[in-house]
A and B are shown apart, each in its own frame.
Chain A
Amino acid sequence: MSRALVFASREVRQNILVYLVLSVLAVPFVFPFVWMLGSSFKPAVEVFAYPPTIFPSTLQWENYARVFTLQPFAQQYFNSVYIAVIVTFGTVVFSALAGYAFARIGFVGRGLMFLLLLSALMMPEEVTIIPKFNFVQWARLDNTHWPLILFPIFGAQGVIATFMMRQHFLSIPQELEEAAMLDGLTRWGIFWQIALPLAKPILSAVTIITFLTTWNSFLEPLVYLKDVEMFTLPLALRGFADEFGQPIWEVQLAATTLSVLPILIFYVIAQRFVVESFASSGVKG
């Protein structure tokens, strides 16, 4: 009994230490976000006041109202949302399939194909943007959302997701699958009924990362889109400038806060799946 008490207090002590360390570490992470939030309510002169303040003196809600009057923000918001959703869904589906195949199915040319795919990881958009732009122009798809949907799913983003899926599927014990195969399940069946449910953490991680990357993508929309109504949020944020090109900070920060909210909510929900504790990992030793 006394041994359990000693054990418990050591745990508690360690936990308090961990909390302390984490709290201190969290400060540089969080305060820029808090500043952004606070400044979005400030009147223009306060945003860069010296000495700087985090909290606004008054809550100027009209900053948020102006967000919608200065640009077709609601439309741009919708654009970002539906593009991100489609891209995320497509990426998860295709990368899970491909990632699983690369991890578990032995087929001729697998190694070579995977290495080929890896080469796409190095592709910063700035590198391939010109030929892609020329192609999009030729196909008359400029000023549409098609390039913004297709290129991420199958491009560098999709390959990263495939890579992540593959690594995760590799760490699922093979015994499960071998048992299922002996039971007569087809490869599809194994994928759908065994591998995929075990992949929830990585599926959530891929969803978060893909959604985030698509949400924040700037160069591609800049190059392909022309009309303000077709813009996505990162482009829209740049448009909150006055006639002379100077950013209207308090409105831009309000717009930024609005565009950050869905990802944050999305993340709060999705990360639960990432860290769900696995009592039933199904492996014995």
Chain B
Amino acid sequence: MYHDFNKKRLVVLFFTLMLMVINVAAQDNPIVLRFTLWIPVDSPRGELFAEIAEEFSAANAGVSIQYDYIPFADYTTTLPLQLSGSNPPDAGWLTENVAPTWVQSGILADLSASLLADEAYDFADLAPSAMELWRSGDPIFGVPFSTSPFLLIYNRDLFEAVGVDAPDVMIENGAYTWENLAVALKTIREEAGVAGLQSFNGGLYSGERVWHTVIPLVRAYGGDAWDADNTCTLNSPESVAGLQVFHDMIFTDRSIEAPGEVVDFYTGSAAVLMGQLSGVGPLAEASFDWDIAPLPDGAAGRASVVGQAAFVVFNNSPNRDTAIEFVKFLTNKENTLRIARYFPPIRVSVLETDVLLTANPTIAAKSMKAAVIDATLSGRVLPSHRNFPTIDLTSRAYWDQLWSPDADVQLVMDEMCAAIQPLLSK
């Protein structure tokens, strides 16, 4: 009996110890969140994210963040492969152009439970228009951290050399329209011999940036690619009007780069570049005086177009909940304020501060306000659709028909709508 008593004690002791060990081990089990992004970690912006990650780790014991850099060019190709692999990422960045496809596929985790529950997070502060793409009913599949409006970067020296008003002057005079800009660019082409407008990243004719270049103009004239019911509206009178202006600028005025022409704004062979804020980077050592301006007005007024990058969490992540918490942390008010130094935010309260105005020392506050801040709040993203890749590919045949001197804009657009409508309706 004496033995039994001791034995029982030993057994109990043993199990208690085991439970303690297991408990401790479970708590110590480190969680490593894999987070993908397309900037190198040792860059000024990457370092900011590293700082934020460290603060999150400090606040959440046992959690650490591992940033994985995937070059932008291969980002949307490599990410799905990694997601179907043996060590998938938990969260990461995603661009708005693939949002509909990814949201539909079910690969993105629903963040709404966590984001809406916390009052301090202030979900209402996130501009609803910016969140449109990332919601499908009630669920929220991503939080944009960067909303980058399309704008024009122009070479002030070229405008002055030829004696026409530069965009900032036109804005002051209230005469900043596509038509006025076309006239100015035509003069530049004739007198200075350089191209007027360079298309978005030079990708107009190769098809990669055709929507980026054309849609702003089309919307400025009241048209659009397709409406909320997914009916193709490229052949509507307003759209055709805008496209006609564009077509004339290329072939009649020759104020936009011609098909196949190799131009480079950065070396002075074009007067204006259509792009985003990121296009300003290489201009730090530019040899000419430059500035940024919003997109010009069209017959229907100003139409701002924005691109976005969002934080998303992946559904098959083993650490999904922790990843969601991290994304919530990244997009709360304090951190949005810090990130806003580099990325135009979607939090209305942050947009109203001075952060963006003083963020880039090479850009005047006035220009920043006009070209970036105002446009961010009112901007809409490019037309998007589940089947966008196929729509894009099908449409190329018709865009290319448009880029010939005697193209009949209405006819080509009718054909394009006929071709893409079945894809839109699916």
Contact = CB atoms under 8 A, between A and B. Distances in A.
Interface residues of B, number: 34
A177 interface: no
Given A137-B84, A223-B81, A245 B72 contact: yes
Given A140-B86, A222-B77, A243 B266 contact: no
Contacts of B73: 238, 241, 245
Nearest to B81: A223
Contacts of A226: 68, 82
Interface of A: 44-46, 48-50, 70, 133-134, 137-138, 140, 142, 222-223, 226, 228, 238-239, 241-246
B264 A245 contact: no
A245 to B, nearest CB: 3
Nearest to A239: B71
Interface string B18-53: 000000000000000000001110010110000000
A49 B268 CA distance: 8
A244 B77 CA distance: 17
B279 interface: yes
Contact of B267 (A45, A70, A242, A245): A45
A256 to B, nearest CB: 15
A239 B40 CA distance: 9
B39 A50 contact: no
Contacts, number: 69
Given A50-B268, A142-B86, A246-B201, 12 more contacts: A44-B282, A45-B266, A45-B267, A50-B262, A138-B86, A142-B85, A238-B71, A241-B73, A243-B40, A243-B45, A243-B278, A245-B72
Interface string B69-98: 101111001100110111100000000000
B69 A228 contact: yes
B278 A244 contact: yes
B72 A133 contact: no
A70 B43 CA distance: 10
A244 B263 CA distance: 20
Contact of A48 (B69, B71, B86, B264): B264
Nearest to B266: A45
30 contacts: A44-B282, A45-B266, A45-B267, A46-B267, A48-B264, A48-B269, A49-B267, A50-B262, A50-B267, A70-B40, A133-B85, A137-B84, A142-B87, A222-B78, A223-B78, A226-B82, A238-B71, A238-B73, A239-B71, A241-B71, A241-B73, A242-B281, A243-B39, A244-B72, A244-B278, A244-B279, A244-B281, A245-B73, A246-B201, A246-B282
Contacts of B85: 133, 137, 142
